[in-house]
A and B are shown apart, each in its own frame.
Chain A
Amino acid sequence: MDGGIGTAVVKTTCPYCGTGCGVDVRVATDGNVEVQGDASHPTNAGRLCVKGSALGDTVGPQGRLLYPAMKSDLTACSPRARGEGGLEMAQAPDPNPLPAVAGRASEMRRVGWDTALDRIAEKFRQVVRDHGPDAVAWYVSGQLLTEDYYVANKLAKGFIGTANVDTNSRLCMSSAVAGHKRAFGEDIVPVSYDDLEAADLVVLVGSNTAWCHPILFQRLVRAKEARPEMKLVVIDPRRTATTEMADLHLPLRPGTDVWLFNGLLSFLHQHGMVDTDFVERHTTGLATAMAIADNTAGDVRSVATQCKVQESALTEFYRLWARTEKVVTAFSMGVNQSSAGTDKVNAIINCHLLSGRIGKPGAGPFSITGQPNAMGGREVGGLSNMLAAHMDLHNAAHRELVQGFWRSPVIADKPGLKAVDLFESIEAGKVKAVWIMATNPVVSLPNADQVKRALAKCELVVVSDVMANTDTTAFADVLLPAQGWGEKSGTVTNSERCISRLRSFLPPLGEARPDWWALAQVGQRLGYPEQFAWTGAHEVFDEHCRLTAHGNADEAGTRDSGLGTREAVPVVPRYLNLSGLAGLARVEYDALLPVRWPVLVKPGNPAPESRVPGPESRVFSDGRFYTPDRKARFLPVRPRMPVHPTGDDYPLVLNTGRVRDHWHTMTRTGLSPKLAAHIPEPFVDLHPGDALLCGVREHELARVTSKWGSCVARVRFSGEMQRRNVFVPIHWNGQFASDGRVGKLVNPAVDPVSGEPEFKHTPVRVEPFRVTWHGFALGRSGLPLDAAVWWTRVTGAGFTRYEMAGRRVENGWQALARKMLGAESPSADWLEYEDVTAGQYRAALVVDDRIEACLFVSPRPDLPSRAWLSGLFARQKLEDVDRMALLVGEPFERGADTGATVCSCFGVGRKTIEQAVRGGCHTPQSLGAELKCGTNCGSCVPELKTIIAQALAPA
C-alpha cells in the first residue's frame, strides 16, 4: 500500500474516463473511503464529477473475485460448453447478491496462484507448439495500468511471438491512433487541456463531453464564462447535455462527418485560409486531398444536403472556423467508432494542417480518449498493430531495436488480430487460448453474442478481473483475481499525455495480485526468468521508460539518452520519450507528480538541453513531424456512408453511448446507489414520430433488433433524437438487466485502417415488447425474479431495486408476492393492496418495524416514484404515517417526495428542483444557491436548464 488507514491523504488518479483527474483519498478508521478532488492536480484542480465522487462506493468487497479458480478438468483441454452454474468465489459478505444468471461456470474451484499460473503457462506452451504463436491472444483493456500493459505486450510480442494483443481501446480511440499515425507519423495528441481553454473556438465532434468527460467540460464552460467571446460548436446527431451549452449545434446525419470536414477543407481553400508557408514546408499530399475534398464536398449546399444540416448553420460554422485562428477541434467516439473513423480523424486533421492551426497554443485536433489509460496502453504498444514504445511491427529497424532491448527469442513481425477479428478467429478455432484482462467483451464488443459463442469454443479462456461474476467470467477456464482501484499501483496517461500515478490505499482483497505480476509469472514459467524478473511496478515502469528512450534520437544525430544498452542500436526518432523518468527509485516513483510527456530530464532536475514540456517545446511547433521525411501528411479522404445501410427490415439507425453516471459495463458504477439513481434502467431513446410508426409508447418496453441480435429497453422520449435515429446506452449487462446488452445488436463492421467497430451506426428496428404487467420491487436482500420476463437490477443504499415486467401470473399475486419477498410465514408483518380487476397489486414486508421489501405491480408503467420508498430503507423505524403511505408509494406530506435524482452529487431530485423554480429560482446559479444542485461537478447543469425551461413554459 502507498498509504495507511486513517492516516494521511493518498493522492491517486480516477479510474474512469480519459480526463484523468487527481483524487485525494482518505481511508477513515471505520474503513469508509473518503474521496475528494486533488486540488494540486493540473487536470481537475480539486474538482470531481459524480462518478469520481462516488468512487468510495465501489471499493467494497461485494461481488469481488478473491481467489484464483480453475475448471477442475482443465488438463483435458477440450472445447466444452461453458456458462452454467454458480461461482463460489466471493466469500465476503455480499449485500447485493446477484439474481440468478444463466451462465456461470459450475465446475470452477479455488486453486492457488501457482497452480493457475502453471496451467496457463503449460497450455500456452502446448498451443504454441501445436498451433503456432498466433493461436494465443490477449484481449486487454484501457483500464489496465501502463505497467500491466507493458508486460502483456512484451510477453506476447517478444516471447510468445504474436502480436495478438488487442484491447478494448480498439473500441474507443484506435481510429484516432491510426489517424495520428497517418498524418503525423506517430500517435501524438498535439493539444492539451490548457489549449482547450485558450481556444477562441472549440468544436466538439461526436462527443457528449458534458456527460462523458464532465470535468473537462466544466473547464471549458468556465473558460467560456470567463471569455464569452469564446465559441462552442457541437457536431452531434443527438441533442445532448453538451449541445445545451453550445453556441451552435450541427445535428448532422450520422456517418457524414467526412463530408462535413472535407467541405470545411474546401471552404478554407476557396476562401484563402491557407497557411501556405506551413503547408509547403511541413506537409505533403495537399493536392490529392484537396482534389477529393473539392470533388466530394466543394459546395456548401450539397454538403448541407448530404449531412442533413441547415445550409445557413453549416456556413456559419465554416465561417467561424475560417476566421478563428485559435481553434481546437476535439473529437471522441462519434468520430472514432465508425467504419470511416480513421478518415474522419484525418478529415479533421487536414483542416488544421491546411490552416496551420497545429503546434500553436489554443489550436489543433484533439482526440479525447475514453478510458483512464487508453493513452498509456498506446505508449507501450498495447494494440495488435503496434510494436512497443510508439514503434511499428512492420519496420525491421524498430523490431530489431525492441527485440534487442527485450533480449527476446522472437519478435512479432506482422500485425495481430484486432478485437472483432480476434473473437471471430477464436470462434473459427484459429485462436485456441485467450487471456482477457479487465474488460467485459461479452457485453462491450459488437455482435456480442458471437463473443459468447467464441469463448464457449475456446480451449483456454483466462480472465483476470476484480469481479467474480461478469458476463465474461462466466466463460472462464481460469479466473485470476485482479486488484481493484485503491489496491493496485502504477501509472496511467490521460487524454493530454499527462502521466499520473495510481496509488494504492487499501490492502488487496483476498489473493488479488497485480496484473503485471501474473503476466510476468507466466513469462518466467515459459523460461524467461530474467526478462520477467521485476519486483515492483516501478521496475516495470523504468523498463518502459528506458525503451522509449532506447534508440530515440533525431536525425541530427543527438545520441540517445544513454540509458539502456551500450551497443549500437538503430536510430528511431520518436516524440514519446520518457528518458527523464527512467531509473526512478521506488520512492521517487511513488512520489511522481503528474507530468506530460515527453519527459527528457528528471522532473525537478531540468538540464539546459532538455525538451521540457511547455510552450517552447510544444509538439509540432517546429513543424517537424515523425514521418520519415518529418513532414505531416494530408490524407485524401473519400467520404463513404456506414457499411450497413438502413432498409425496410431495419429502418432506424442505432447509436450507442454512455449515460452520465455510469461507466462501461457497470461492474463498478453499478455498485453505487448514488450513481444508479440518475438513469436506473436501460432505455431506447427515439423520436416520438418514429415511436408512433413502430407502435411503441413512452415508458413501455420495446425490443430493439438488428441483424445481429436484440435487446429490450424502456422507451424514452428525451427530445434529443432526430427522426430515424435511436440511442441505447452501452452499460447494462447480464448482471444488471435481463436483456440489456446492446452489444449484441451492434454490427461488426469495422474501420479498414483502425479496425474500430461501427458502434454508432447499426440498422435496427424497434417493436413493442408486450407484457401484461409492469412492476418494481425493493428489497434489503436479493429477490428471485422468476415471475418476470424482463428485469433490471439497480443498486440502492441498503437495498436492491428491481424493475420488472412480465406476462402471466398464475393464481394471482398474493402467494407469488409472499414468495418473492420472502414473506411466506403467515405471521409476517405483511401489508397488501389489491385491485384485481385493474391489475394493481402492492405489498410490503416489514420486519422489526423496518421495511424489508416491497413490490408494486400494475398493467401499465404508471407505478409510483421509487424515490421516497427508497429513502424508507434508511429509517430505523417506520412511523404509522409511513406505514400508511407505504403502499401508496409516496409520503403523506406533500413535497416530501423529491422525485428522480437530477444532481447526483448532492442528491437533489427533480420535484425539489421544480418546486424551487416555481419558487423563483430561474437560473442554474440561483438553484445552486438554494439547493446546491449543480455546484459540484456541474454535469447536471444542462438538465437544470431544461427543467427551468419546462417549468416556466406556459402549460
Chain B
Amino acid sequence: MGVSEPRRKRLVVIGNGMAGIRTVEELLGLDAQRFEITVFSAEPHGNYNRILLSPVLAGEKRFDDIVTHPREWYASNGITLHAGDPVVAIDRKRRVVHARSGLDVPYDRLLLATGSKPFVIPVPGHQLPGVIAFRDIHDVESMLEAARNHRHAVVIGGGLLGLEAANGLARRGMTVTVVHVMDSLMERQLDKPAAGLLKTALESRGIRFLLEANTAEILGSDRVTGLRFKDGGVIDADLVVMAVGIRPNFELAKAAGLHCERALVVDDTLQSLSDPRIYAVGECVQHRKSTYGLVAPLYEQAQVCAAHLAGLGHRRYPGSVTSTKLKVTGIDLFSAGDFIGDAETQDLVFRDPRRGVYKRLVLKGPRLVGVVLYGDVKDGPWYFELMQKRTSILPFRSRLLFGQAYCEPSEQAA
C-alpha cells in the first residue's frame, strides 16, 4: 500500500427514487468503499416506496410507513443527499453535474434514475386547479385535501394506477367515477373476463365506470367543476385525477447528448450507448426496445447495474418479464406476461364466478408465457417463476392451473 490512499471514485446519482436507491444499496452491499456517493433528489424527502402510495391514499398506511430510506440512512452510509435540488444539466466533457441550486458536483460514474412523469392529456382545462396526477406523495396530499373538502372525484384512466386512485378516493368518502377510453379495465394487464370481474367488484364498492369515454374538455374556471366528453355528455367533478400512463423522464439525458429513443437507451450492462461512464436504471430507461413501469424490473436492473459499478462486470440484464398486482384491498389480481396470446398459444381457463375466481394461463409450446389470476392469486409468484425460469410445464400441464400444491412431485412412490 502507498502512503496516501488513492482518491475514491465519485458516483453521482440523479434521482432518489426506488430504482436509484436500490442500485446504491446493491452497490454498498458489494463494495461500500468504492465510491464517494452523491444523490440528487427533486423531491424534498428521503426515499419512499412509491408503489405504496395507494395504501396511503386509501388510509391503510401512513406516509411514515412507506419511507424506506430516511435522511439518517444517507448519513450513516456516507452518502451526500441533495434533496429538493434537482440536477439541471450534465457536462459530460468535464464530468460534472449542475444542480438547480448552482451546485456543481464532479463524477467518475454517473447513474441516471430520473424515473418518469405522469402523462397529462392536453385537453382544455388540464391545468385547472383540482386536476392532478397520481405520482408522488404531493399528489396524494392533494387528493386527501380534496377528499376532505369536495365530493365528486373523476379518475381518468382505468389502468392499474387509476383504479388504485379511485379506490383510495372512494375509501376517503368521495363519489368516484372512473373514465376509461377503452372498453375494458386494465387492458394491458387483464383479459376481458378478468376485467369484467374486477369492474363488478369495484362497482360493488360504489365506484362508477364510464368506459369507451373520450374526455373532450375539463370544465371549470377557478377550479375544476366537471368533465365534458366528446359525445357531449357532462359529469360533475371537484377533483380530476389523470392516470393515463407515464412518460419516461429523460430530458436531462437527451440534453446531455446521450442516445435516446422513447427513453434513454442502455445496453445489457445498463450503460448508455453514448457514454460508458453513464449508467441508468428505472423508468427512464429503454432497454431492448422495452420500457418498464413496474418495480420488479427496476430491482433486476439495479442488481446488474450495481455489479458493473462495483467493477464486477460479470452480469447482464436480459430484460424482464413483468407481473402486476393491484393494490386494492380485497381484490386479488395478478397478471404477468403475454396474457392475450396468439395463434400459437394455448389457454388453460378456470372459472368460478360465484367465488369470484378466474384464472387463465397462456402456454406457448411447453412454457408458460402469460398469467391472469383474479380472485385467487396465491400461485401468482409461482407461475411467474415458471415463466422467468422458462420451466417446461408439460409434466404437470393438467394440474398447472390448480396451483403449485397440486404440481409438486407426488410422494416417493414405493
Contact = CB atoms under 8 A, between A and B. Distances in A.
B404 to A, nearest CB: 12
A854 to B, nearest CB: 13
A830 B355 CA distance: 10
A846 interface: yes
B402 A888 contact: yes
Contacts of A952: 414
B95 interface: no
A831 B398 contact: no
Contacts of A836: 346-347
Contact of A894 (B352, B411, B414): B411
Interface in A796-854: 829-838, 840, 846
B346 A837 contact: yes
A887 interface: yes
Contacts of B351: 830-833
Nearest to B361: A835
Contact of A840 (B398, B411, B413): B398
Contacts of A838: 346, 397-398
Contact of A955 (B350, B354, B376, B414): B414
Contacts of A955: 413-414
A407 interface: no
B348 interface: yes
A888 B413 contact: no
Given A837-B346, A838-B346, A914-B414, A830 B398 contact: no
A833 to B, nearest CB: 5
B413 A832 contact: no
Given A838-B397, A955-B414, A892 B354 contact: no
Interface in A861-884: 862, 880, 883-884
Nearest to B401: A833
Nearest to B397: A838
A858 B352 CA distance: 20
B160 to A, nearest CB: 27
A951 interface: yes
A681 to B, nearest CB: 22
A770 interface: no
Contacts of B352: 831-832, 883
A862 B399 CA distance: 12
Contacts of A885: 402
B402 A834 contact: no
A229 B355 CA distance: 66
Contact of A888 (B353, B399, B414): B399
B405 interface: yes
Interface residues of B, number: 22
Contacts of B413: 955
Contact of A832 (B350, B363, B402): B350
Nearest to A860: B398
A888 B352 CA distance: 13
A281 interface: no
B414 A884 contact: no
A858 B399 CA distance: 13
Contacts of B350: 831-834, 887
Contact of B349 (A832, A858, A862, A890): A832
B406 interface: yes
Given A888-B399, A955-B414, A880 B349 contact: no
Interface string B326-352: 000000000000000000001111111
Nearest to A846: B354
Nearest to A840: B398
Contacts of B397: 835, 838
A952 B355 CA distance: 44
A917 B414 CA distance: 10
A951 B399 CA distance: 26
Interface string B377-414: 00000000000000000000111011001100001011
- Which of A836, A838, A884 is packed against the most chain B CB atoms within 10 Å? A884
Contacts of B349: 832-835
Interface string A319-356: 00000000000000000000000000000000000000
A918 interface: yes
B398 A835 contact: yes
Nearest to B408: A894
A892 B397 CA distance: 17
Given A883-B352, A951-B414, A888 B346 contact: no
A842 to B, nearest CB: 9
Given A835-B398, A888-B399, A955-B414, A883 B346 contact: no
A29 B164 CA distance: 63
Nearest to B348: A835
B405 A835 contact: no
Contacts of A829: 353-354
A776 to B, nearest CB: 15
Interface in B263-291: none
Nearest to A842: B350
A914 B414 CA distance: 9
Contacts of B354: 829-831, 846
Contact of A835 (B346, B355, B414): B346
Interface in B49-99: none
- Which of A830, A831, A840, A846 is packed against the most chain B CB atoms within 10 Å? A831
Given A883-B352, A883-B355, 4 more contacts: A832-B350, A836-B347, A884-B402, A890-B406
11 contacts: A829-B354, A832-B351, A833-B351, A834-B348, A834-B350, A835-B348, A835-B398, A838-B346, A838-B398, A880-B355, A892-B406
Interface of B: 346-355, 363, 376, 397-399, 401-402, 405-406, 411, 413-414
